[in-house]
Structure 1
Amino acid sequence: MTTERDVTSEPAGRKSNIEKEKTEVSFLYLSEEDMVDAGVLNAARCVDVMEETIGLMEDGDFIMGGPYNDAHGLMLYFPKKSPIENFPINNSRDRRFIAMPAYLGGRFHVAGEKWYGSNGDNRRKGLPRSILMVMLNDVETGKPLAYMSGNLLSSMRTGAMPGMAAKLLAVKNAKVLTLLGCGVVNKACLMSIMTVRPEIETIKIKGSSPTSKTALNMKSYIEKSYPRVKNVIICATMEEAVRDADIVSEAISCMAGQWPEVKREWMKPGLLYISSSTFNMDYKSIVDLKKVIDNYGMYENYAEEDELGYDEAGNRLHTGCMGEDFVYMVEDGLIERDSITQIGQIIRGKKPGRESDDEIILVSMEGMPIEDVAWAYECYTYALVHDIGTRLKVWDKPRAF
């Protein structure tokens, strides 16, 4: 897949799947290897597709799950114990399933779902913590269009959102990028940010420790993949990592409630701080900073589900999610709802982006199923045109019951 769209047909568009009245139903199966061939790791293209997707979201040309059509997904949590023999028990820190359905309009005009199975014990079996699959369906007939491996897809679309934020909101000629967290998500963030900010000269890394395997692997990857970067520095502390950065990409994996704290005094004027997963900063120090999110309604859903209260001193507890913290700040009267900008408003020109070189901007990007559907569709259409994948039959003609 190139950065220029070379697919001229619209195999899953508004017309092509309903013009031919056929009883035959089949779908395209795309393995992980097929997805690589279909361009799933094309970071530059994914950033463009995410910008297109969030613009459509701002237009209202989408539907997700939940009572307000803006939910992240529907989750199955397993109990810590059960009286039922052989019932699945959550004896790891992350055993769950999530259904993440969405419809996306525009040129996509397609429905889809990411099905997400996760278990922290998987690593002991040589498997990733999460195993993901994505399905696309014709929105007119409900026919399955594709069923595909979703791990690389999910990582790439997650990283492309911070890439989009860096494109739209970072200072010009940003030189220093900091990665807080050295896992798969921040690797995808790095790939995307580097496509839109090629002027980066220094990359600072903060892992669980300066000698952690993940930090050393990230340093090696950067030096090999981005030889134009002059300095790759593994930092010992959060303060060292955040100070002097022009862009911070946060994707830290940690236990709930153990989120490392970031302090306002570490942030240089002009910093763009993007959080994909974990955030902990004193509420009052956030008040006068510019706040940008992907989907306010989603964070309202989080806040309603979590119902976090206050500590013994009367201070609001932190959630570990930047966007959810913003919602609680509105509820507590620290800020006005209008002070929070959805990035789609910037894309559509309804609100300004960066307004000065000294402005510090906080951005929350937690991920939504419309992103999975968009990137899945892009890879699917490329696979169709380039004869990638395996066609599987459902039926030639539906059997009468």
Structure 2
Amino acid sequence: MKTLLLTKEEVASLISMKEVIDAVAQAYKAFNSEQVVQPDYIGIHLPPPRGEIDFKIGYCKTNELISMKASSGGFIDNPATHDVPNSMGTVLLFDARSCALICVMDGSLLTHLRTGASGAISVQVLARKNSRKITTIGTGNQARMQIRAIREVMDIEEIHAWSRNPDALCRYKVDIEREFGIPVIVANSKKEAVEQADILITTTRGTGSLVEAGWIRPGTHIIAIGTDQKGKQELDPAIFRHAKIVNDSISQCIEKGETWHPLNKGIIVKSDIHGEIGEILLGIKPGRESDEEITVFDSTGMAIQDNTTSEKIYRNALEINVGTFFGFL
């Protein structure tokens, strides 16, 4: 048999953000319909100045595909020392009926795409319908991807942004305004930015509270992206005290997501978590129920998102004959 090889450029050409949003919604619903086998991911932390590499594996019964993604990050010396990016990713797709390897594709863009899509899906079910202003705390690649995804599901009138790096903040403003024509207002402080938000997005590598509870207005929807392992934190745990808390995976979020912090401090108990986003998409649990609610979507990322998104990329490649086939034998 032959295996399809897809480069980063080919992956980028094979899927639209709307298709990614649909694929991630499919993943969430499959996860909460007992159609997914998803072992805990394995991570290896390497000695500084190197970073980490993670392996995420998922089996989706509805598409009969097994995916395995290897993704690395934090290798700050890579560009200068090894002439490769400081973060990389690769996805392997296996036909679950035979376990034959059917596709190898670049996974670095896929991770950014499906993470952006997760925020957009949360907006659809947890943000106020009249939301127009977005605040981003952090201005890196994922902050940009969140905007690309969210603009598919709502009209964004303006973006307020804060970063501890003034140069990065300036580049973000230029890039977003050039790509989307949406005005970006550079905030003088985190507090100033957060107080403007209908939707607040945190996408940093923070290790402490960046957003205080007193800054959050009633009705705000918070998309917590940056905290995906122990040691990371972006939100004041007190925010969770009176918020509707939705996780992508409760088991992951209470171990290494933003939700861990209020649990650890005794501010909430596990039963205070409203549910998982797949349950809302399936109609098992309600989404936003009033314009005054503060809602928090804690997303740690799941292998099944990689699975359904990479399947769509693979099917599109076959349909329009993109990529290179190779064989090990």
Q: How high is the TM-score relative to the length of structure 2?
A: 0.92
Residue of structure 2 equivalent to 1:263: 212
Counterpart among 379, 388, 392 of residue 313 in structure 2: 379
Equivalent runs, 1:38-77 vs 2, <5 Å: 38-39=14-15, 42-65=16-39, 71=40, 73-77=41-45
State the superposition RMSD in angstroms. 1.8
Equivalent residues of 1:250, 1:274 under 8 A apart: yes
Give deviations 1:289-309, integer Å, cap 9, x for gaps. Answer: 11111001113443xxxxxxx
Once residues 334 and 203 of structure 1 are traced to their aligned partners in structure 2, the CA distance between those partners, rounded to angstroms, is 31
Counterpart among 99, 102, 105 of residue 55 in structure 2: 99
SS at match of 1:239: helix
1:122 counterpart = 2:67: no
1:222 counterpart = 2:176: yes
Once residues 186 and 267 of structure 2 are traced to their aligned partners in structure 1, the CA distance between those partners, rounded to angstroms, is 39
Residue of structure 1 equivalent to 2:196: 244
Equivalent runs, 1:1-400 vs 2, <5 Å: 25-39=1-15, 42-65=16-39, 71=40, 73-78=41-46, 90-92=47-49, 95-106=51-62, 108-118=63-73, 119-125=75-81, 127-198=84-155, 200-209=156-165, 211-212=166-167, 214-227=168-181, 229=182, 231-254=183-206, 257=207, 259-278=208-227, 279-302=233-256, 321-328=257-264, 332=266, 334-395=268-329
Equivalent residues of 1:29, 1:392 under 8 A apart: yes
Instruction: Tell me the CA shift for residue 347 of structure 1.
Output: 0.8
Equivalent residues of 1:102, 1:112 under 8 A apart: yes
Once residues 13 and 218 of structure 2 are traced to their aligned partners in structure 1, the CA distance between those partners, rounded to angstroms, is 42
Q: Which amino acid aligns with 2:135?
A: T
Equivalent residues of 1:299, 1:327 under 8 A apart: no
Instruction: Tell me the CA shift for residue 334 of structure 1.
Output: 3.3
Instruction: Tell me the CA shift for residue 336 of structure 1.
Output: 4.6
Q: Which amino acid aligns with 1:328?
A: N
Equivalent residues of 1:38, 1:379 under 8 A apart: yes
Once residues 281 and 74 of structure 1 are traced to their aligned partners in structure 2, the CA distance between those partners, rounded to angstroms, is 26
Listed as ranges, the gaps of 5+ residues in structure 1 are 1-24, 66-70, 79-89, 303-320, 396-401
Once residues 58 and 240 of structure 2 are traced to their aligned partners in structure 1, the CA distance between those partners, rounded to angstroms, is 32
Equivalent residues of 1:287, 1:335 under 8 A apart: no
SS at match of 1:174: coil
Equivalent residues of 2:263, 2:270 under 8 A apart: no
Give deviations 1:209-256, integer Å, cap 9, x for gaps. Answer: 3x32x21221112111222x3x311112110110021001110134xx
SS at match of 1:388: coil
Equivalent residues of 1:146, 1:380 under 8 A apart: yes
Once residues 259 and 5 of structure 2 are traced to their aligned partners in structure 1, the CA distance between those partners, rounded to angstroms, is 36
Instruction: Tell me the CA shift for residue 260 of structure 1.
Output: 4.2
More strand by share: 2
Instruction: Tell me the CA shift for residue 110 of structure 1.
Output: 0.4
Once residues 282 and 249 of structure 1 are traced to their aligned partners in structure 2, the CA distance between those partners, rounded to angstroms, is 14
SS at match of 1:147: strand
Once residues 371 and 336 of structure 1 are traced to their aligned partners in structure 2, the CA distance between those partners, rounded to angstroms, is 24
Q: Which amino acid aligns with 1:35?
A: V
Counterparts in 2 of 1:196 and 1:260: CA distance versus 1, 3 Å: same
- Higher-Rg structure is 1
Q: How high is the TM-score relative to the length of structure 1?
A: 0.76
Once residues 69 and 308 of structure 2 are traced to their aligned partners in structure 1, the CA distance between those partners, rounded to angstroms, is 11
Instruction: Tell me the CA shift for residue 54 of structure 1.
Output: 0.1
Instruction: Tell me the CA shift for residue 48 of structure 1.
Output: 1.4
Equivalent residues of 2:55, 2:68 under 8 A apart: yes
- The share of aligned pairs that are identical, in percent, is 24
Once residues 112 and 336 of structure 1 are traced to their aligned partners in structure 2, the CA distance between those partners, rounded to angstroms, is 30
